[in-house]
Amino acid sequence: MAEFTPEKSKQIALARLDVIHKWLEFRKKAQNKLQADYDFVKLHNTSNSHLFENLGKISRGSLHRWYSMLNGTEDYTKLLPQYKYATVREYRTVLNDEEIKIFMGLLLHPNRVSIGKAIALTKYKLHEQGQGFIPADITFRRYAKWFKDNNYDKWILARDGEKALSDKVEPYIKRDASLLEVGDILVADGHKLAFQVINPFTGKPCRATLVGFLDWKSTALVGYEIMLEENTQCIASALRNAIINLDMIPKVVYQDNGRAFRAKYFTDDKGFTELGFQGLYSKLRIETVFARPYNARAKVIERFFKEFQEGFEKLLPSYIGSSIQNKPAYMMRNEKLHKSWHNEYIPTIEETIKMIDMWLSFKNSQPCPNAPDKTIAEVLSERKRQNIDINTLDDLMLATEVKTIQRNGIRFLNCDYFDERLYGFKSKVLIKYNLFDLTSIKVFTPKGEYLCTAERVTETHPMAKLLGDVKDFEDYKQKIVRQRKLKKKTIESVKKYLETEDIKLLETSEEKLATVQPVFNTRLKDVYKSFKNNADKYEYLIVHNPQDKWIKEFKQTKEYQLLYE
């Protein structure tokens, strides 16, 4: 290997050769050679020429020495400065091996000791060891700068770790997203929201997590789920929303390392393949690809979340920052003015979803990075729809805890959900829901058998006929009809049950009737006295004694017309 020669040394040697040529020409015209030498040196040292910039001031002795070094040749390398040059991997310093060892041991510590502190500690230790001569601070600083510039990989790995080495030093592969089609690859990841929302389960403010699926081609967030607590099904539910919005099943889902993806958001560290998702994805014929550990730069969704935080989260009143360093001023101590200005509004989940969707509409109107002549929405609209049957995606719906069926159906998020097929049941069921549409929930048996889709029960106007509008009165009538229908269904079923040949209703002999009738009449009078109002009495008699004269009289009253007509 040829000996290393710095470019500056080459320029000096070439300049020396040029000066020798000029000097020899100058001497030829002079009678007194000695005087010519002094005159030439004086002219050079007082000029602003290119040669002076490279060589500086010269002497007559320098000219004769350089001429002698050429030895009658034109080889400029003979005029190279005669001192040792440090290579890229070497550094000329007065620091000895012991001083470098102590100094670099501090600088390369994982706790990232500052250069100034490392210098102070090194000098203190050298002094304690009894060393007489201790180098100056600038000597240590120059060595630290040289080491960092020429060993940046070692510097980053030692001080910042493998992820930083991967993100800052290692070369990366550029992928050509223009070769993809919309829906080919969805990139999945989660983002801890930097603002608070109202938890519908507790009614208290909390920081939720957005689990999202981004289409690589269009860079549009095509599906997401708001995760309020540790629930692994949120990942599957977000994929379900993505498939519904795209109206197509993606070919590949690309996400973080399976175990890392879980550990990033959950307390235990079970991997992706240990949670049952592999089977769900395989059923839909979706290939799953996991990023290598410490390969975050490969996930394009990271750039989306950064833009999401800057362009959306920071505009919300409930923004609290993603860390202590970037929390807003109103959260700082003694910031009374900012606290007085602060809007205490915290959105609900429904409001949050609406606001996110509005921001996504704005985001999708921007130019697409993978197709600059089109917007993100235009690229997304070019997808080939598949007319997906939503019912085939029920396995991906978010599952919650087991519920018990009550009189008004299932109580969930401070609302009642009812369907006629739940009437008469008082058992445990499993519900599946989607936070994006809480108008209904799907109900399953604890074993997973589908029962029904329960609709959210709406409240009724207190006086629909007199004070409400047509819609209120119609709603009231429909609910009354449903109540009667369900009651009639129960009565008919009981009658059939009692008509079986294994059960006899009553003894029909006159003796027993004579014995039973007085007692029955007495008990019936007692029952009548226990009714709270006419409605309760009517409901009882219409079932047990429909021939009672009181029923006919009651039907003529205005109270009956308001309640039952």
pLDDT digits (tens, 9 = 90+) for 151-174: 999 999 999 998 888 888 888 777
Residue 346 lies in a domain: yes
Q: Indicate whether 193 and 340 sit together in one domain.
A: yes
CB-CB contact of 500 with 509 (8 Å): no
Residue 174 lies in a domain: no
Residue 310 lies in a domain: yes
* Statement: the pTM of the whole predicted model exceeds 0.85: no
**Across 513-518, average pLDDT:** 52
Q: Indicate whether 376 and 243 sit together in one domain.
A: yes
Strand order in the sheet with 185-192: 221-227, 209-215, 185-192, 252-255, 287-290
Residue 316 lies in a domain: yes
Q: Indicate whether 306 and 223 sit together in one domain.
A: yes
Q: Indicate whether 292 and 230 sit together in one domain.
A: yes
Final residue in a domain of this structure, among 79, 108, 143: 79
- When pLDDT is cut at 50, 70 and 90, the band that residue 371 belongs to is confident
Distance between CA 64 and CA 24 in Å, rounded? 10
Residue 389 lies in a domain: no
Final residue in a domain of this structure, among 28, 44, 79: 79
Q: Indicate whether 64 and 138 sit together in one domain.
A: no
**Which pLDDT value is given to residue 94?**
85
- When pLDDT is cut at 50, 70 and 90, the band that residue 375 belongs to is very high
Q: Indicate whether 207 and 309 sit together in one domain.
A: yes
Q: Indicate whether 251 and 344 sit together in one domain.
A: yes
**Across 508-518, average pLDDT:** 50
- When pLDDT is cut at 50, 70 and 90, the band that residue 481 belongs to is confident
Average pLDDT, the chain: 81
Nearest in space to 304 (alpha carbons), one of 369, 208, 259, 248 = 369
Nearest in space to 197 (alpha carbons), one of 342, 305, 339, 351 = 351
Residue 133 lies in a domain: yes
Q: Indicate whether 66 and 210 sit together in one domain.
A: no
Residue 42 lies in a domain: yes
- When pLDDT is cut at 50, 70 and 90, the band that residue 503 belongs to is very low
CB-CB contact of 230 with 164 (8 Å): no
**Which pLDDT value is given to residue 507?**
43
Q: Indicate whether 284 and 315 sit together in one domain.
A: yes
Q: Indicate whether 235 and 336 sit together in one domain.
A: yes
Q: Are strands 450-456 and 415-418 parallel, antiparallel or unpaired?
A: antiparallel
Distance between CA 299 and CA 549 in Å, rounded? 79
Final residue in a domain of this structure, among 380, 414, 446: 380
Q: Indicate whether 235 and 352 sit together in one domain.
A: yes
- When pLDDT is cut at 50, 70 and 90, the band that residue 1 belongs to is very low
Asked whether the predicted pLDDT for residue 552 surpasses 90, the reply is: no
- Domain of 34 in residue numbering reads as 7-79
Q: Indicate whether 191 and 158 sit together in one domain.
A: no
**Which pLDDT value is given to residue 126?**
92
Report the domain count for the chain. 5
Asked whether the predicted pLDDT for residue 364 surpasses 90, the reply is: yes
Residue 495 lies in a domain: no
